[in-house]
């Protein structure tokens, strides 16, 4: 098992964002985390990446308890987060953003040329500052930056948020290539259809808890929608258990 989240609790002050949550991700698997705003998805990803310190439970990565390991050390162990909002260095160029991440990561096959091959829309933008990019161009750069660390686990937070459909399509073409190459991905996505189309497994969160979990091919959109909004909650909790 590549990743095991065990009885995780995470808070933002008085807000209990993640509640006794347990989740496993196998090597090479793509898992989609879905749920309404405030369900705890981003906090869960940040807790796995080391950007948010949980108040209880454990994060075990490749057999090692990394719950108290600093975020930059988790990057060196192979965990990379593409955060909501991208958070690029705005005054650095696309290439400079990529190279900064490369210096903080691990040895491996990902370099600037491979990122540009995966995201060809970035080729003519290589020397442009990140602040001048469109939302889709920034998102491609953010994913490329994470790949430059040569991760074994890629955490993607809201790939399609605020982007035009044609841009989302191009980004997901690249995500599909990563999945084909065997990259292990934990994906937060508001677009249910998109999430279910790329994932091996879907996990739905509500109020910081898992209320539905199952193989994407075996769940209907109606089941996921009901769990997403807390409808027929008792029935939803039993699906995929």
pLDDT tens digit sequence for 99-157? 999 887 788 899 999 999 999 999 999 999 999 999 999 999 999 999 999 999 999 99
Reported as a pLDDT band with limits 50, 70 and 90, residue 177 is very high
d(CA 240, CA 231): 16
Instruction: For residue 99, give Cα distances in angstroms to 20, 59, 103, 137, 144.
Output: 38, 28, 6, 17, 10
| 79-84 mean pLDDT | 94
Reported as a pLDDT band with limits 50, 70 and 90, residue 232 is low
Position 235 pLDDT exceeds 60: no
- Token pair, residue 157, equals 């937070």
d(CA 129, CA 59): 36
User: In this predicted structure, what is the pLDDT of residue 239?
Assistant: 37
Report the domain count for the chain.
Answer: 1
| 24-40 mean pLDDT | 96
Altogether, the residues listed in the chain come to a count of 241
β-bridge pairing 64-65 and 56-61? antiparallel
Position 241 pLDDT exceeds 70: no
d(CA 136, CA 159): 9
Buried (b) or exposed (e) across 195-231, using 16+ Cβ within 10 A? bbebbbbbbbbbbbebbbbbebeebeeebbebbbeee
Instruction: For the chain, give the percent of residues with pLDDT over 90.
Output: 83
Kindly report the CATH number assigned to the domain that includes residue 10: 3.40.50.300
Position 236 pLDDT exceeds 60: no
Q: Is 60 exposed, middle or buried (0-12, 13-18, 19+ CB in 10 A)?
A: middle
Average pLDDT, the chain: 92
| 214-220 mean pLDDT | 95
- Token pair, residue 88, equals 């690029």
Alpha helix positions (H), 7-160:
41-49, 71-77, 94-104, 112-118, 135-147
Our CA dihedral for 49, 50, 51, 56, rounded to 10 degrees, sits at 110
Q: Is 131 exposed, middle or buried (0-12, 13-18, 19+ CB in 10 A)?
A: exposed
| 4-15 mean pLDDT | 96
Do 87 and 94 meet the contact criterion of CB atoms below 8 Å apart?
no
Strands of the sheet containing 56-61, edge to edge, are 15-25, 3-12, 56-61, 64-65
d(CA 46, CA 212): 21
User: In this predicted structure, what is the pLDDT of residue 103?
Assistant: 80
- Phi/psi region, residue 119 (left: phi>0; alpha: psi -120 to 50; beta: rest), is beta
Domain of residue 16, residue span: 3-238
């Amino acid at each position: 098992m590549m990743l095991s989240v065990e009885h995780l609790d995470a808070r933002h002050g008085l807000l209990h964002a993640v509640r006794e949550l347990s989740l496993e991700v196998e090597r090479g698997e793509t898992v989609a985390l879905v749920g309404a705003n405030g369900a705890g998805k981003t906090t869960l990803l940040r807790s796995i990446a080391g950007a948010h310190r949980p108040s209880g439970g454990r994060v075990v990565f490749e057999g090692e308890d990394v719950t108290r390991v600093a975020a930059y050390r988790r990057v060196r162990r192979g965990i990379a987060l593409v955060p909501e909002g991208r958070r690029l260095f705005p005054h650095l160029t696309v290439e400079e953003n990529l190279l900064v991440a490369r210096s903080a990561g691990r040895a491996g096959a990902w370099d600037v040329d491979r990122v540009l091959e995966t995201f060809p829309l970035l080729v003519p933008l290589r020397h442009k500052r990140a602040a001048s990019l469109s939302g889709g161009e920034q998102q491609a750069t953010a994913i490329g930056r994470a790949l430059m660390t040569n991760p074994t686990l890629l955490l993607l937070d809201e790939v399609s948020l605020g982007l035009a459909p044609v841009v989302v399509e191009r980004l997901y073409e690249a995500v599909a290539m990563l999945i084909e190459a065997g990259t292990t991905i934990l994906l937060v996505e508001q677009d249910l259809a998109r999430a279910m189309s790329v994932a091996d497994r879907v996990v739905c969160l509500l109020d910081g808890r898992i209320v539905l979990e199952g193989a994407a091919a075996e769940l209907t959109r109606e089941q996921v929608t009901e769990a997403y909004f807390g409808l027929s909650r008792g029935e939803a909790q039993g699906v995929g258990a």
